[in-house]
Amino acid sequence: MGKIKNLVTLCAVGAALFSCQTEDAVQTKNNSTNSALKPGAELVLLPNSNKSADIEVSENMGDIFNAVAPSECLPTSFRAVSNKYIQQIIADPIALSENSIYSDVNYYYSFYLSSGDQYFGAEGDYTKLMVKRQRELASFWDMKNLITVKGQHTANLDKKEVWVDVLTTFYGYSQADGSFVNLTDEQASGIADEYLSLNEVSPNLPENPYFATDGFASTNRTIVIGDGLVRWLAESGVDEGIVWTGILAHEWAHQVQFLNYGTWYPQGADPDRATATRYTELEADFMAAYFMTHKRGATYNQKRVEEFYNLFFQIGDCGFTSPGHHGTQLQRMRAANLGFDLANSAQKQGHIMTQQEAHEYFVSHVASII
């Protein structure tokens, strides 16, 4: 799955909260004029931009903007925070016109190209916590040395080497005759300089947290978590340490699902894609809660549970027919509560369910969530 964030969609969803410019104004990377290209050339993603057709990702937590139908769903402070930052982009003609390529470049770099030691938080403030949580999760689910966790940062988009690396790997240009050509290092360098110059004049490029709001797991055993997504949730009133732990635990649960997919969902979780996504997302919420509140997991106690519930409540949605439907706010809270109750019942003996046992427990109780 490639990036799907686009302010055309966000404008349509948020129309009741803020005004947007016309669709023509928000068509992004394909309308950008790059002097480093030949006259008439158009910068586009390469046909094989996903690099491997067999790599799939969980529904991106950053893509949480769904049409809301009348139901138990309510506006949340998370939506107010995210809309605040999106409105800043909409009010900035430069950021508005270039939002798609900035999001895409950070997605491709963070997912495919970033390597070596990772840091978490804009200044690395949560690196120690995340290293600790990764070690705990690997032990808890018996998955040592299997998963790679990467941080995503808006600072990536202020580095020329990042732009050149992504552009030469994932981008090319179409010529007037319809032929497709890969970018050379020289062309990529010129284009990178142009985008870096935009960073100097735009108050939103690249520092607006919108450009680092990815949060997903992939079948190549990688998890990506963006600083921006964590910042939005933290500004919504959730303790930042809980946000980091909760997102990581949720995405780790997707890795558990990927490892067991053929056994757990041999025909898919459900024939309807929206229902299938909701099912796996709610199971991930349940498994995350089980880990976070277990005596041998993250050990959050009862006093922290209210904030923990709030995390899942904030990111519920009512896009019932959307392929990315994660479950309503109340459904996500009930899934989290199921995990907490299960962990709490095991406090005295300290027993940790196997992956299979946890899945079977969820299956037997899912009706009480939905």
- Is 90 a domain residue? yes
Q: What is the pLDDT of residues 31-70, one digit of tens each?
A: 444 777 766 677 888 776 766 656 888 877 766 543 334 4
Give the residue with greater pLDDT, 78 vs 242.
Answer: 242
Band (342; pLDDT cuts 50, 70, 90): very high
Band (20; pLDDT cuts 50, 70, 90): very low
Whether 338 and 286 have beta carbons less than 8 Å apart is answered as: yes
What angle (nearest 5°) sits at the alpha carbon of residue 236, between those of residues 238 and 289? 35
- Is 27 a domain residue? yes
Instruction: State pTM to two decimals.
Output: 0.86
For residue 58, what are the contacts with CB-CB under 8 A and spacing of at least 6? 216, 217, 218, 251, 254, 280, 281, 284
- Is 216 a domain residue? yes
Query: Is 90 exceeded by the pLDDT of residue 200?
Result: yes
Q: Which amino acid is at 128?
A: K
Name which of 29-33, 178-182, 208-212 the model is least confident about: 29-33
DSSP category for residue 61: T
- Is 348 a domain residue? yes
- Is 232 a domain residue? yes
- What's the CA gap between 151 and 154, in Å, rounded? 10
* 27: its two tokens: 């068509």
Residue % of the chain over a pLDDT of 70: 78
- What's the CA gap between 147 and 219, in Å, rounded? 10
**Strand-by-strand arrangement of the 171-174 sheet:** 42-45, 171-174, 180-182
Give the pLDDT of residue 370: 85
Give the pLDDT of residue 66: 38
- Is 122 a domain residue? yes
Give the pLDDT of residue 151: 98
Give the pLDDT of residue 181: 87
Give the residue with greater pLDDT, 333 vs 311.
Answer: 333
Query: Is 70 exceeded by the pLDDT of residue 230?
Result: yes
Give the pLDDT of residue 6: 53
Helix, strand or coil, per DSSP, at residue 149: strand
- Is 137 a domain residue? yes
Per the structure, the complete domain to which residue 295 belongs is given by 7-369
Q: Where are the alpha helices (DSSP H) in 171-226?
A: 185-201
Residue % of the chain over a pLDDT of 90: 55
Give the pLDDT of residue 275: 85
Whether 262 and 248 have beta carbons less than 8 Å apart is answered as: no
User: What is the total count of domains within the chain?
Assistant: 1
Whether 97 and 32 have beta carbons less than 8 Å apart is answered as: yes
Give the pLDDT of residue 49: 73
Band (75; pLDDT cuts 50, 70, 90): low
Residue 161, classified by CB atoms within 10 Å of its CB into exposed (0-12), middle (13-18) or buried (19+), is: exposed
Instruction: Count Cα atoms within 13 angstroms, Cβ side, for 73.
Output: 21
Q: Which of 23, 3, 27, 15 is nearest to 87 (CA)?
A: 15
- What's the CA gap between 98 and 201, in Å, rounded? 13
Band (23; pLDDT cuts 50, 70, 90): very low
Q: Where are the alpha helices (DSSP H) in 174-328?
A: 185-201, 227-235, 240-264, 273-293, 302-314
Q: What is the pLDDT of residues 256-292, one digit of tens each?
A: 999 999 999 998 888 888 888 889 999 999 999 999 9
Q: What is the pLDDT of residues 302-313, one digit of tens each?
A: 677 667 667 666
Q: What are phi and psi of 123, to 5 degrees?
A: -110, 10
- Is 2 a domain residue? no
Give the pLDDT of residue 21: 33
DSSP, residue by residue, 229-246: HHHHHHHTT--HHHHHHH
Residue 334, classified by CB atoms within 10 Å of its CB into exposed (0-12), middle (13-18) or buried (19+), is: buried
Mean pLDDT along residues 17-39:
45
Q: Which of 282, 284, 266, 285 is nearest to 274 (CA)?
A: 282
Give the pLDDT of residue 315: 64
Q: What is the pLDDT of residues 124-179, one digit of tens each?
A: 999 999 999 999 999 999 999 999 999 999 999 999 999 999 999 999 988 777 77
Q: How far is CA 45 from CA 9, 155, 214, 313, in A?
A: 20, 22, 19, 36
Whether 55 and 291 have beta carbons less than 8 Å apart is answered as: no
Whether 96 and 88 have beta carbons less than 8 Å apart is answered as: no
Q: Taking all residues of the chain, what is their mean pLDDT, rounded to a whole number?
A: 83
